[in-house]
Structure formats: C-alpha cells, structure tokens
Amino acid sequence: MYRFSIVIPAHNGAQFLHLAIGAALQQTRLADEVLLIDDASTDATVEIAKSYESKLKYHFHQEATGFVDAWNRAIELASGDFVTILHQDDLLHPEYLEHIEKALRRFPSIKHFYSACNYIDEHGAIIKGPPEPYSLEPVFYSGKEYARNYLNGVVTNNHIHRCPGVTTQRNLLLAECTYRKEAGHIADDDFFLRVGAFTDVVGISQPLASFRHHGHSVTGQRGLLTLELARDYVFQVLFHKGNKTLLDDEDITQVQLQAVKFINLLLFQSLLYKQQEWTQKAFGLRDELDKMLPSFMEKNLPLWARKMWGMTSAKSKKNRTAAFYVAVLNAIIKSRDYVKALLKHEFTSNK
C-alpha cells in the first residue's frame, strides 16, 4: 500500500489557494496527507489555512526563501512514499491520484509519474490543451526518451506536462535528484531533464491537472521573467557543457539556442522599455555565453537581431537609434498579430 502526499507551497497566494486546497482534498483516491507550506505569506494565507485546520497540515516559515526552497522543505516535511507538488494557483483533477496509483501498481519499479495538463485563465477557463492524442493509458518511457520529449515540449512551447500533475518518489527527491535553487525560475525544467538518469518514467497523456496563467503569477510577468530566463539558460549551458547528461549533442544545442533566444529578448525589451540596467545585463550574459561558446550567439542571431546588437552600446544611457529601431519592429509585430487575429476571427465565424 503506497502513501501519497500532496504538498502545496504558498507565498501570498490567497487569491486561488482555496481552489488548490479543494483540488487536493477532493481526490477520488484520497491523499494520505495534504500539507500547506507557507513561505512567510503576509496576505490571508494563514486564515485560509486555519479554515482547513483538521484536513491539512500547515507549516509556516518565518522568512521567505523562494519557491525552490519551499518545494524542498515541503518534500522533507512530507511522510508519503510519493510526493505531488501542487502550486498555490494550480489544480489537480479529482481522478488524478486514482490514475497515478493505477499506473504505479502496473509499473512498480518506476519512481516518477506525470499526467498532461490544461492551461487555464484566472476564471478557470481552458486557454490551451496539451499535445494530442489524449489517453488514460499509462505509457512507459526510458529516462532518456522522457528527457528528450520534455525538452522538445519546452522548445516548441507544447509541453508534455507541467509542474501540476507530477508525482515522484520521495526518497528520490531527497537523496538522488533534488530541486536545485541555482537553476532559478526553471528549476522544475532542470529537474525534469535530470530525473531520468535515476528512473524510467511513466506518463499519461490525458490532462489530469491544470496550470493557471494570470496577471499575478510569475509566468504572467513577462518583463521580469525574461531576465531570469536569460540567466537560467546560461546556467543550463554551463551545466550541460561541464557534465555528462541524458541529452545528446543535438538536444544540448537546443538548450544553447534557448539561451540565445532569451538574451536577445532581454536586449529587445531593455530598449523597448528603456531599461538601461537590463541592457547592461544582456551584454554581460552575452559575454558569458561567448566565453563558453565562442561566436555561437552571433551565428544564431537573425539579421534583425544582429542589427539591433550592432546599434546598441552597453555604456550608453539612451541608445536612441537602437530604441527607435526596436519600437518600429515592435509595431510591425503587433500589426502582424492583429491581422492574424482578424483573419482567424473571420475564418472561424464563417464556419
């Protein structure tokens, strides 16, 4: 008989916390414990936790130390054989644990399970679904296959799963493959690309979880996110360059191209929003990447981006010519998106 823990790390997440807790408590296969790990919230999180006092275990941390520390703290506090991390604004569908347990019974040697998930907005409406086809049939993947599939989903923005909808053996999380704080905002992706070195993986393509996009989520704050992602992918380049991993050379090139993408986007946004500090950081990250991979970024930039970099100085406070160039590019992009939206509306409305 396996024991399952659902852990909910929270930091000032009162807006959707009731829904996350409800999803954890209303599983058709009840969790053996539900833990709420509060990373020094100052909103109504404490009051919400108290309203569920008899149904969950509440732990308050006096100092906010970030979401990765909160994940690892939650795993340490859990007592189940398997742990499911549920973010404060995400959902598990009622049958999630039931199907994970069935998969575990069928594949008892596997230590990492996932289901696909939907993307929902702040009202719970589905924005986007996972890759089709959907099936409740659990599928076995070697660790290497899983890592490659997951990376391909990241690169194409068509993830096979996200953080909600993942269940992992607690001992593996504690002793073999931990979440790394140095991986930054993509500590989850970093973990999913490494865990296959310690276990094969079983996945369910039917969405049994929901990942919420909203204005207050970190993933909803695009300007701030770009700087973090640029840093984080430079870290990934360094890691995969210095260590033997599950990824082959072609896969590692995709990771390197992600670093190029976000460093370039950082410069673009720095000029668009007149953030000189971001401009300096973009040049600094480009220098870091060039030290590891000489000329790689230059070779993989589109022509418009090469012109943008050529017009920009890390030392200048204004970069007027480059800023004007980026403003024009942004206007063109918005116009194309508007035309696409109009055409899509006209096409669908005439069906």
* 195 in Cβ contact with 201 (< 8 Å): yes
Q: Specify the pairing of strand 82-85 against strand 166-169.
A: antiparallel
Question: Where are the alpha helices (H) located in 200-319, listed in sequence order?
Answer: 222-242, 249-272, 276-292, 296-299, 303-311
Distance CA 270, CA 289 (A): 19
Q: What pLDDT, on a 0 to 100 scale, did the predictor assign at position 343?
A: 65
Residue 274 DSSP code: T
Contacts of 19 (CB under 8 A, 6+ apart): 89, 91, 124
Domains observed in the chain: 4-218 (3.90.550.10), 223-347 (no CATH)
Q: What pLDDT, on a 0 to 100 scale, did the predictor assign at position 350?
A: 44
Q: pLDDT digit of tens for each residue in the chain (351 aa)?
A: 899 999 999 999 999 999 999 999 999 999 999 999 999 999 999 999 999 989 999 999 999 999 999 999 999 999 999 999 999 999 999 999 999 999 999 999 999 999 999 999 999 999 999 999 999 999 999 999 999 999 999 999 999 999 999 999 999 999 999 999 999 999 999 999 999 999 999 999 999 999 998 776 544 456 678 999 999 999 999 999 999 999 999 999 999 999 999 999 999 999 999 999 999 999 999 999 999 999 999 999 999 999 999 999 998 888 999 999 999 999 999 888 767 766 655 544 444
Q: Which of 165, 127, 125, 124 is nearest to 15 (CA)?
A: 124
